[in-house]
Structure 1
Amino acid sequence: MHIDENPLFRKAIVPWYDSEAACLVTVILMESVFVLGVFGLSVVRETPEFHRYVWFPVTLMALSFAAVLSITIRLFRRYAHRRKKRQGQSDYISIGRR
C-alpha cells in the first residue's frame, strides 16, 4: 500500500526538547543561572583578587539571558500562532451559522 507523501491532515510533531514543558523548565533553569551570575558579579566586584575574573559571571549572565530571550520569543510566537488559528476557526464556524 502506497503512503501519500503529502497528506492534507498531517500535523507537525514537536520534538520533546521543544515542548512547552521543556521550554519552561529551561527558562527557569536559565533564570537561576542568571541569578548565580549576578551573585558572582557582586563577589567579583567586592574582592580585589577576583577582579580579573569578571568575565566569567558576565558571560554566564549574557548566555543565560540570550537563552531565555530566545525561548521566550519562540513560546510567544507559538502561542500567537495558536491563538490566531483558534480565532480563524471560530470565525469560520460563525460564518457557517449565518
Structure 2
Amino acid sequence: MKIKFRNELLFRKAFIPWYDTELVMLMTLVFSVVVLLFSMVGVAAALDDPRFQSHIWVPCLLGSFSMIITISTLIRLMRRWSIGGD
C-alpha cells in the first residue's frame, strides 16, 4: 500500500456539490425574485381589502424570507465571480 504525501492531497481539485453550482444558484436567484414579486402583490392586495389587512403578515414573512435568500445568493455569486470563477 502506497502512502500519499501531504503535498499530493493539497493540490487536487476540490469537489463542488450540485447545489453549489452556478446554474443552481442562478435558478435559485430567479425563483426567489419571482417569490418576492408575488409577495409584493400579496401585500398590495391585502392593503386594498380591509378583510385581509389582519393577514398581511403572511406575504410580509414570505417576502422577507425571499429577500434573505436573494441577498445571500447574490453575495455568493458576486464572491465567486470576483475571485475568477473556478
Bin for the TM-score computed over the shorter chain: 0.7 to 0.9
Whichever residue aligns with residue 35 of structure 1, its letter is L
User: Under a length normalisation based on structure 1, what TM-score does the superposition of the two structures give?
Assistant: 0.77
Residues 12-68 of structure 1: per-residue CA shift (max 9 Å, x gap) = 221100110000000000011001101101110011000011101111111101101
1:9 aligned residue = 11
Which segments of 5 or more consecutive residues in structure 2 lack a partner in the other structure? none
Cα distance in 2, alignment partners of residues 78 and 4 from structure 1: 30
Aligned length: 84
Distance 1:44 1:5 in 2: 61
- Counterparts in 2 of 1:9-88, with a 5 A limit? 9-82=11-84
Q: Unaligned 5+ residue runs, structure 1?
A: 86-98
CA RMSD, 1 decimal: 1.8
Report the CA distance between 1:2 and its aligned residue: 2.8
TM score, norm. by length of structure 2: 0.87
